[in-house]
Structure 1
Amino acid sequence: MEKLGFCNFKHSKIYNSCMREGEKLLEGKTIIVTGGGGGIGSEISIYIAKLGAKVVVNDPGTDIEGKGRNPAVADAVVEKIREFGGQAVPNYDTITIEEGAKKIVETALENFGTVDGLVNCAGNIKDNFTLDMSYNDFKQVIKVNLTGAFLIGKECLKVMVEQGKGGSIINMTSVAGILGNWGQCNFAAAKAGLIGLTKTWAVEFAKYGIRANLIAPTARTRITKNLPISRQYEENEDRFSPKHVSPVVAFLLSDLSKEINGSIIAVYGTKLFTYHIVTNEGVSKKTMWTPFEIKEKIREIFEII
């Protein structure tokens, strides 16, 4: 039997056996899941509740561009959790303003008395070629994906430090933020910014026993359905189901991952790997470089052995 967090979900029997194996893995922990009403967020909310977590399902119920509000989105996930005896409460506030972030944390404290983990799944997209993208569309994507993560993260970190018992924060980055993607300069900038934000938290809060990590998921969701790669997701529906992200989240929230901090775990369907920033040996000289010398040594400067 493969350990929880690294299960192969090709068959539902394996999925269920993995759930039984880690049945009490998150018992006693209160976890806030932003964007918890749909896609990856809803899968995570239900999965960690089955492992004993008390879940705050935060979702204002907006569309993929951040428009509209529908409380039924969060309510539906909470209802599913309560049906199997799990503990969950809904929250409809937005993470994009300080007051909203504070209210989300207050919901956790008022209902469960603690905050032990945060999973940031809230996100939006407004894709366009850079020259056709409006400043407002750029700002709105940064506001939800990066500023929102900062605001809710800051509120959770305050509580975790005061509690003095550690904690775990997980932010969702993207291959767009690591490698870039056509038509997504706003989304890529936000997701790249999340990497710097999360790695800084990993450094700043390690002394408090608080870990901060990232997941870079490749999954079939409403956000990806209009992307060119969506056909690949449809052809491999189970492999790219958002449910495959859930065990990695559970692993990072649990005490199994106490040694992991500031890392990026990629979930490409049923394949897991990590992204690293690497350096090579480089080329040195005793005097200042000239542009022509750089050109001559460019292969050695860029070479990765």
Structure 2
Amino acid sequence: MGNLDGQVAVITGAGRGIGREHALLFAKEGAKVVVNDLGGASDGSGGDPTAAEQVVEEIRALGGEAVVNGDDVADWAGAERMIAQAVEAFGRVDVLVNNAGILRDKVIAQMSESDWDSVIRVHLKGHFAPLHFAAGHWRERSKAGEQVRASVINTSSTSGLHSNPGQANYGAAKSGIATLTEIAAKELSRYGVRVNAIAPAARTRLIAQTPTVDALMPAAAEGEFDPWDPANISPLVVALASPESSVTGRTFWVAGGTVKLYKSWSVESRVESDSRWEPSALTKEIERLAGGPAGQAG
């Protein structure tokens, strides 16, 4: 018996890296999987269904059920087709794992409009569009009287949660995904849907572009546990997708064998006045409030 026996999962960006590991583990745990992947390069250019087809073949070789979907996650009609394909192939959708993404790293002064638009589109709209159509599917099932137990797992990143320089586009999208997760959890709870996010750390095709990756994520010696293996991320996603879970509206960091829970935005300290502030007085107060010169990162 698997943790996801009989569940139907749509997993985006599942042709390579972390998404591939999600798809394989979901299948091993008994889920039927829609393997979505446009098959583009790491910057989003091009397209090739081969990687997704290979994952489907692997799943079927294991005795599982899977189908390929090559739609663009950020294309409105494509996202609709993706969810419709899952319903047509397997009767319904129980889990949506939003994982697809690209990178176009540059500092703000050198980032082009297309660098910004492409990354925001794939990550932020590419999370929202499938979520929109999955939410409609669950809403209709709930309105028809069905007791829905569904889940969404979004993919944020420490690049957004910890504001990584050189990734304004990627970080802004990933921070937005964490907020989208909390809003969706509140909105969709009435339909029996839980929504969570992960911020994974693993050695992937996207991370491989980072010049310091070998120092940050060194390869493990033969026979030793590799804390940066993408496969380490997937057990948390399966756990969050499990119908036995009640967790919702949370964001988790995961790498190796470690899982950490993030705390959402909260008020740290304040200053107050009984009347409107004078700018000069407030300048001094906000320096004190922030613990350093105004504008200095804490």
Q: How does 1:1-305 map to 2 (within 5 A)?
A: 23-164=1-142, 165-231=148-214, 232-236=216-220, 238-258=226-246, 260-276=247-263, 277-298=265-286, 301-302=289-290
CA contact 1:282–1:300 (8 Å) conserved in 2: no
- CA deviations on 1:33-79 (whole Å, 9 max, x unpaired) are 00011100000000011111110000121111111211111011111
Counterpart amino acid of residue 288 in structure 1: R
Q: Which residue of the partner structure matches residue 15 of structure 1?
A: none
CA contact 1:160–1:166 (8 Å) conserved in 2: no
How many pairs were matched up?
280
Query: Structure 2: how far apart are the matches of 1:278 and 1:243?
Result: 32
Query: Structure 2: how far apart are the matches of 1:263 and 1:300?
Result: 32
Query: Structure 2: how far apart are the matches of 1:205 and 1:130?
Result: 35
| Cα deviation, residue 269, structure 1 | 2.6
Higher mean displacement: 294-303 or 44-53: 294-303
**Alpha-carbon spacing, 1:279–1:35, altered in 2? closer, same or farther (3 Å):** same
Counterpart amino acid of residue 156 in structure 2: T
| Cα deviation, residue 290, structure 1 | 3.4
CA contact 1:220–1:241 (8 Å) conserved in 2: yes
CA contact 2:149–2:243 (8 Å) conserved in 1: no
4+ residue stretches of structure 1 with deviation over 6 A? none
Q: Secondary structure at the match of 1:256?
A: coil
Query: Structure 2: how far apart are the matches of 1:72 and 1:38?
Result: 10
| Cα deviation, residue 176, structure 1 | 1.0
- CA deviations on 1:181-239 (whole Å, 9 max, x unpaired) are 12211111111111222211111111111111110001100000121441121345810
Counterpart amino acid of residue 284 in structure 1: E
CA contact 1:217–1:245 (8 Å) conserved in 2: yes
Percent of aligned pairs with the same amino acid: 37
Q: Secondary structure at the match of 1:212?
A: strand
**Alpha-carbon spacing, 1:288–1:228, altered in 2? closer, same or farther (3 Å):** farther
Higher mean displacement: 271-280 or 211-220: 271-280
Q: Secondary structure at the match of 1:66?
A: coil
| Cα deviation, residue 173, structure 1 | 0.5
TM-score, normalization by structure 1: 0.87
Structure 1: runs of 5 or more not aligned: 1-22
Query: Structure 1: how far apart are the matches of 2:269 and 2:125?
Result: 36
TM-score, normalization by structure 2: 0.89
- CA deviations on 1:219-271 (whole Å, 9 max, x unpaired) are 1000001214411213458101111110110011012321x111100013321
Query: Structure 2: how far apart are the matches of 1:250 and 1:294?
Result: 49
Q: Secondary structure at the match of 1:234?
A: coil
Q: Secondary structure at the match of 1:257?
A: coil
Query: Structure 2: how far apart are the matches of 1:184 and 1:245?
Result: 22
| Cα deviation, residue 281, structure 1 | 4.9
**Alpha-carbon spacing, 1:229–1:216, altered in 2? closer, same or farther (3 Å):** farther
